[in-house]
Amino acid sequence: MPIHSRSVARATTLVPMTLAMALATAAHAESTCPDFVMLPSGSVFNIAKLIADTGSPEAALSKARTAVDQVSSNGGCPSSVKREVCEETMAVAKKAVVALEACVTHGPHADGIDKGGRTASK
């Protein structure tokens, strides 16, 4: 019987891992949002991470918009931080908002057509 119990133990380990990989692949294939946006200066905003953290492109868009609007409504970058760094961060965040708006508006669920895989927006 030891052979049988090892087979069962192996199957109980492999089945959940295989299922998780299949679900992750399906979710990745469904998204039309870029993984990241980049400014010519090299600043990068990781859109894929924000979507993963918030659960959907729509929620990521809402969170990014709120953050950008909050800084803008307070008069922009505060004088207590390095102005250039803050302005660069705001610029890449605004670019991320534009990319998220595009993928939410033109995503696979917007019109029923899958526009393809994930890409980088430059």
Whether 43 and 81 map to the same domain: the answer is yes
Whether 52 and 104 map to the same domain: the answer is yes
Whether 53 and 2 map to the same domain: the answer is no
| pLDDT score for 35 | 95
| pLDDT score for 107 | 62
Between 5 and 63, residue with greater pLDDT: 63
- Number of separate domains in the chain: 2
| pLDDT score for 2 | 55
Q: Give tens-digit pLDDT for 17-33.
A: 444 454 444 444 455 89
Q: Which of 5-9, 36-40, 96-100 has the lowest mean pLDDT?
A: 5-9
Whether 63 and 17 map to the same domain: the answer is no
Whether 47 and 80 map to the same domain: the answer is yes
Whether 61 and 47 map to the same domain: the answer is yes
Q: Give tens-digit pLDDT for 71-114.
A: 999 898 888 889 899 999 999 999 999 999 999 987 654 443 33
Interval 52-64 mean pLDDT = 96
Q: Is the pTM of this model over 0.85?
A: no
Whether 38 and 54 map to the same domain: the answer is yes
**CA proximity to 104, closest of 39, 41, 43, 51:** 51
| pLDDT score for 106 | 77
Whether 75 and 114 map to the same domain: the answer is yes
Between 1 and 99, residue with greater pLDDT: 99
Task: Determine the structural domain holding residue 94 and report its residue range.
Answer: 32-122
Whether 80 and 100 map to the same domain: the answer is yes
Distance CA 111, CA 117 (A): 16
Q: List phi, psi (to 5°) of 115.
A: -85, -5
CA distances from 92 to 28, 59, 115 (A): 23, 18, 24
